[in-house]
Structure 1
């Protein structure tokens, strides 16, 4: 098994754990981003951490996006206490729409033998719409700059 295959398997598995924690029925891009941020010592995790997006930072950004979305339809989370999500009884194994889009971006246009762990982060950051881009934008993260650094890392790394 290659380094990428091991990393990819870990991200999918841990993405499922994150989805289960959130009570989600499927694995979405936000769960994959949380999994990437949790993989201590990897290049994608270090790049996220440098931007202030360790696992807790990603979770906080996603929470901010949730609250912002509710506020945009007139629901204020300050007016009441939201219950924590109930964890799902079992870990989801299926990908939701945004999770499938991440997978498509990883494997489209890349040769399998050239894939690196950073390709997962690149695929997540390339989303132009959805929960992850909104969360990062609300946090003030320079997504374009982060993406450029990730692409540069892949371009300059050989394995």
Structure 2
């Protein structure tokens, strides 16, 4: 799990965030080499770039909903943070909490548990981005639960 958190911190830094949030965990999980998680994401048509594009679309739609129109795409590009975030923000804490709820012991936490925690989110950037990507979250959640070891369900 340390590797996922490190990748999430790198994503947060690249996006100019001061904390690691759920979207950074999603991007980190998308880069996960572990076969089960890879297969789950692939089955939903998700890869790193698809998720990145969906997050960008979600950002643009959120701006539009707030009445903000940005015609200069360069204005939307994140500015890399100087400092690498080490703290989990509220959405990441919720994901980790929900992922941990699906596992008996913290040492058994796997990337698929984080994916499950992400899929459990009811509101926020990640659910909106996954909807924009055309993901059936309930179906992916069911497949993720089925793929977890018995003790981790």
TM-score normalised by L of structure 2:
0.89
Return the offset for 1:108: 2.8
Gaps of 5+ in 2: none
Aligned equivalents of 1:155, 1:145: Cα separation in 2? 18
Aligned length: 150
Q: 2:41 aligns with which of 42, 48, 53?
A: 48
Gaps of 5+ in 1: 1-7
Q: 1:81 aligns with which of 61, 73, 80?
A: 73
TM-score normalised by L of structure 1:
0.86
Residue aligning to 1:5: none
Q: How does 1:20-39 map to 2 (within 5 A)?
A: 20-39=13-32
- Aligned-pair Cα RMSD in Å: 1.9
Q: 1:101 aligns with which of 89, 94, 100?
A: 94
Return the offset for 1:71: 1.3
Q: Deviations over 1:112-147 (max 9, x none)?
A: 165433111101110001100011112211011111
CA gap 1:21/1:114 in 2 versus in 1, 3 angstroms = closer
Residue aligning to 1:122: 116
Aligned equivalents of 2:91, 2:132: Cα separation in 1? 19
